[in-house]
């Protein structure tokens, strides 16, 4: 373990990734000056995307993990990380909720998904699993959602943890940030938007560019799926349209939270 200028040992930090696009790590790497300051405060012992020198030996004070658990190897690495880490933080939507890759979980078996992608030549080099968030397998101390995660929010979380504080993340709807920035309501304007269900904190970049919110930061504390379905229908969207839009980042719980309000028959998958 390295030390800072005061002779104190730096907290040992790791940044690991499983099944994901790597966008959250890229967001961390683009911090540049802030990342340099972070390196002054901690020892980043494991970060394969950012360094060629990595070690998983010994104990970690904080382990950040991007990506969903989608293979047996992912699960083995997650269990190892949990065993060796005092604090484990899920970073990004894939790690927190399963990500886009889990959008078919509610309607198809793993075998069906693999055959849809690969046909009769399903690769056997890795043992695939249905994409799941980290918390399905181990205790996750904190979640930092987003697709990608906010780099500045990542730095704030690190600062909180280094000062033995619980990170504060917004719990209100994205609609709140649209009101703050005087962004016109995309749902009223005819766009599909789940900002009323979804956690704020991103700054509402999608709605500010004329798009609807897909809800990559997950649900806030009191989401009202029933009323949102009514609003979508009033705008002329079919129940299939609603299902296909909402499931993008909610594949692991769309059946439980959304389907009760839709006139759709989605067969329960075999696994």
- Number of domains within the chain: 2
Per the structure, the complete domain to which residue 235 belongs is given by 174-261
Are both 140 and 61 inside the same structural domain? yes
Are both 118 and 29 inside the same structural domain? yes
| 10-residue averages of pLDDT along the chain (271 residues) | 65 97 94 82 93 92 98 98 98 97 95 93 89 98 96 92 93 96 96 97 96 97 97 97 97 95 93 82
- Residue 125 belongs to domain with CATH number: 3.40.50.700
* Residue pair 239/264 in contact by the 8 Å Cβ criterion: yes
- Please indicate, yes or no, if residue 266 is contained in any of the structural domains: no
Separation between Cα atoms, residue 222 and residue 47, nearest integer Å? 36
Separation between Cα atoms, residue 101 and residue 67, nearest integer Å? 10
- Please indicate, yes or no, if residue 2 is contained in any of the structural domains: no
Query: Two tokens at 133?
Result: 């968030």
Are both 95 and 123 inside the same structural domain? yes
pTM of the model: 0.93
Are both 151 and 195 inside the same structural domain? no
- Please indicate, yes or no, if residue 167 is contained in any of the structural domains: no
pLDDT for the residue numbered 5 = 55
Are both 151 and 180 inside the same structural domain? no
Domain limit, last residue, from 111, 136, 162: 162
Are both 180 and 237 inside the same structural domain? yes
pLDDT for the residue numbered 59 = 97
Are both 179 and 232 inside the same structural domain? yes
pLDDT for the residue numbered 183 = 97
Domain limit, last residue, from 162, 191, 226: 162
Are both 17 and 128 inside the same structural domain? yes
Measured N-to-C along each axis, helices 151-162 and 33-41 cross at an angle, to the nearest 10 degrees, of 20
Domain limit, last residue, from 116, 131, 162: 162
- Please indicate, yes or no, if residue 247 is contained in any of the structural domains: yes
pLDDT for the residue numbered 32 = 80
- Please indicate, yes or no, if residue 267 is contained in any of the structural domains: no
């Amino acid at each position: 373990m390295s030390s800072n200028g005061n002779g104190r040992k730096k907290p040992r930090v790791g940044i690991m990734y499983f099944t994901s696009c790597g966008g959250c790590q890229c967001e961390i790497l683009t911090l540049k000056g802030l990342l340099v300051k972070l390196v002054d405060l901690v020892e980043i012992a494991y970060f394969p995307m950012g360094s060629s020198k990595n070690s998983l030996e010994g104990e970690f004070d904080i382990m950040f993990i991007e990506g969903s658990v989608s293979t047996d190897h992912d699960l083995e690495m997650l269990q190892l990380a949990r065993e060796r880490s005092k604090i484990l933080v899920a970073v990004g939507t894939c790690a927190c909720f399963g990500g886009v890759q889990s959008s078919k979980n509610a309607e198809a078996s793993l075998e069906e998904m693999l055959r849809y992608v690969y046909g009769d030549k399903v690769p056997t080099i890795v043992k695939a699993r249905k994409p799941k968030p980290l918390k399905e397998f181990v205790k996750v101390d904190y979640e930092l959602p987003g697709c990608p995660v906010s780099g500045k929010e990542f730095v704030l979380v690190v600062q909180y943890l280094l000062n033995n504080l619980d990170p504060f993340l917004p719990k209100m709807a994205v609609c709140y940030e649209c009101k703050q920035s005087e962004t016109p309501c995309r749902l009223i304007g005819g766009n599909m938007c789940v900002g009323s269900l979804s956690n704020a904190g991103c700054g509402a970049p999608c709605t500010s560019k004329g798009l609807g919110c897909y809800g990559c930061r997950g649900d806030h504390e009191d989401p009202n799926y029933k009323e949102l379905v009514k609003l979508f229908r009033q705008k002329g969207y079919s129940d299939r349209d609603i299902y296909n839009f909402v499931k993008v980042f909610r594949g692991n719980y769309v059946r439980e939270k959304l389907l009760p309000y839709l006139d759709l028959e989605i067969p329960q998958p075999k696994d």
